Structures are given as C-alpha cells and as structure tokens.
Amino acid sequence: MPDKDAGTPRVFLYRHGQTEWSQTGQYTGISEIELTPHGVKQVVASGKMLVGEGKLIDPTKLARVFVSPRNRAEHTFQLAFSDADKQALTDANKVERTERLAEWGYGLYEGLLTKEIRALRKDHGLDTDRAWDIWTDGCEDGESPQDVTARIDSLIEEIRAIHQGNMHGENPCDVALIAHGHTLRAFTKRWLGYPMEFPLSMMLEPGAVGVLSYQHHSIDEPAFLVGYGFPLEE
C-alpha cells in the first residue's frame, strides 16, 4: 500500500486451487470437486509467500475471514493458513462459512463447457441475436445476475460496516474472502459499483490472491489495487 494510503482496510480475494473441472473449463458450482495435487501446491505456495504475520495477509490484522461452503474453498483455507493462525482466528470468532460466497449457481450448465452451454441454449431457442454471456443472461434453472448481486451486496454491506471508522488503521480490520472464480470477479464488480453486465474483463488464477481497498482513506471511494508494492526487508 502506498504511504499515503497506509492503514486503509483491504479485502483479499483468495481463489481456491485448481480442480479437475477448473483445469478443463467445466462450470463448477455446487459440485464438490476436490483440489488436484497441483491445486494443493498452488495454495501452499501462495500461502507460504503471502499469508502470515508480517506478510500481505497478516492474520493478526484480519477482522474476518469469509469462506465459501464448498469443499474446495474450505480446503484452500486449511492449506493457506497455519494451524496456529486458524485456531486463533476461530477462537476469536473471525471465521465464517457463508453461502453468500458460494460459486454462481449454474443450474443446467453445471459441468458443461462454454461451447456446450451455448449449444444447449440454441436448442432452447435462446440467444438468437448474440452469444450467451453469464454476466447478462445468468443460468437456466440456476442463478441470475440479480440473484448473485443480491447476496454479494449483502456481504459488501457487512464488510463496509466493519471498515467504517477504521479508514486510517484505527483498528485491524482487513477481510479475506476464500471462494471461486466467478464469485470473486462478481464481488469485484459490485465492490466498484458496477452492474454485473458491465464489461470489466478480469483474470484470477487458481490459488491466486487479489486485493481491493479504498482511495484517499474514503469509504465512498472503493478501488482495486492493480499492483502492490511490497516493503523492503530491513
């Protein structure tokens, strides 16, 4: 964080590690697909580098850790944080498993590839003038963009209440979200005040961490950190 923004609360977006379906591009919502061995290595590597006292995600500075209820997110939390840090956070009632961070409900599209979804929708007489876009069209028998917006906005409201009054580091109040690719990108859009259909292209690799915060220590100026400068070692 630049010096002028030091102490401003942050939200860390921690995507779960690779699964067989994330590797193949299959849409994974409610299905409990476990991390691959490579996915485990991804999370262990990012956790070792980024999670711990004095590191980017410092457990002593966390006010809350919100975890998706899917196994792959829970496994990521277990791998990324040390046993001592997990115990301390749990004892302080700072860890919450919440459906608000579950992956987008894909409905009929669960387990399918994008090309298969578009073919299915064509068979259903949909998208006659343009290709399917989840951010605009949602999922048949699954969640609409409005459904996802409602649950994410509820979580953002709770996080902003935690941050309010702590914009200059008055109390440690960083927040970590451990969840999924679509959900975390949807969260970013809503954090910045954009509707789901806003064409904001984002990438977040399995096991990777993104950072959201605020400009000018202002709760009314949510922002994302395009790049993060790490402090020099003494």
Which residues are part of the catalytic machinery? Answer: 16, 103
Instruction: Write down the residue that tokens 């580098």 correspond to.
Output: 49
203 DSSP assignment = -
| Residues tagged in the binding site annotation | 28-29, 72, 103-106
CA quadruple 14, 19, 23, 26: dihedral, nearest 10: -100
Contact 207, 73 (CB under 8 A): no
Report the alpha-carbon distance of residue 160 to residue 158 in Å, rounded: 6
Report the alpha-carbon distance of residue 61 to residue 57 in Å, rounded: 8
Other Cβ atoms less than 10 A from the Cβ of 154: the count is: 12
Please name every residue paired with 64 in a beta bridge, in sequence order, or none if there are none. Answer: 175
CA quadruple 16, 19, 25, 29: dihedral, nearest 10: -60
Residues ≥6 apart with Cβ < 8 Å to 26: 111, 112, 113
Q: Apex CA 154: angle with CA 39 and CA 176, to 5°? A: 35
Beta strands in 59-208 (DSSP E): 62-67, 95-97, 174-179
| Residues tagged in the binding site annotation for substrate | 28-29, 72, 103-106
Residues ≥6 apart with Cβ < 8 Å to 202: 185, 188
